[in-house]
Amino acid sequence: MPKKLTKPLYVMRDLTDINQELLPLKALADRELASIYGLTGKVYTPHIDAYMQVSIKKAEILASLKTQGYLPLSEVEIITAALDFLHKRARNNAVFEYQGNEYKRRFLPLKLSKSGKNVQKWAKFWLLQLPDGKVDPQWEREVREIWPSYFLIRTVEM
């Protein structure tokens, strides 16, 4: 008679071990799956991700120091607040003059729905336009430094 194949017997320690092995794999698999289907819009980019996280932390520190009065508000923040007050209903790419300069209103998706198809919240900011119609690169650098989360690759909660 052929020998009957028996399944090995497991103990609770085996379950604990396999769960520990699964934890890091699950995180990687979820991230990869989400990037494949575009649910988060986030591709695995560890260096960019790390850079953006540090940039966001820096922006939080700067905002805190400005709130406490240790650092003055930048020209970008002052003019942005003034333009926001004067032009509350400005549309994307609308151009307005303020103190002899032209500023363009820009919108970027800040928070997407779970499906990633609808925008739930918009990031709103102003860009200084040069006389030739191009955006002032120094102004844009400052905007990116002050509000780095506006320029993140968009993510949604899964």
**Paired tokens of 18:** 């396999």
What pLDDT, in 10s, does the model give residues 82-140? 999 999 999 999 999 999 999 999 998 888 888 878 888 888 999 999 999 899 999 99
Beta-sheet strands, E only, within 5-144 = 95-98, 101-112, 119-129
Distance CA 139, CA 75 (A): 9
pLDDT band at 42 (very low <50, low <70, confident <90, very high): low
Examine the pLDDT at 155 and tell me if it is beyond 60: no
Mean pLDDT in the chain?
78
Confidence (pLDDT) at 47: 47
Per cent of the chain over pLDDT 70 is 65
Examine the pLDDT at 19 and tell me if it is beyond 70: no
**Paired tokens of 100:** 């002899």
Nearest by Cα to 104 from 147, 151, 143: 143
Give the Å distances, CA to CA, from 71 to 63, 65, 94: 9, 6, 31
Q: pLDDT higher for 51 or 41? A: 51
Asked if residues 129 and 135 have their Cβ atoms less than 8 Å apart, the reply is: yes
Gyration radius (Cα) of the chain, Å: 24
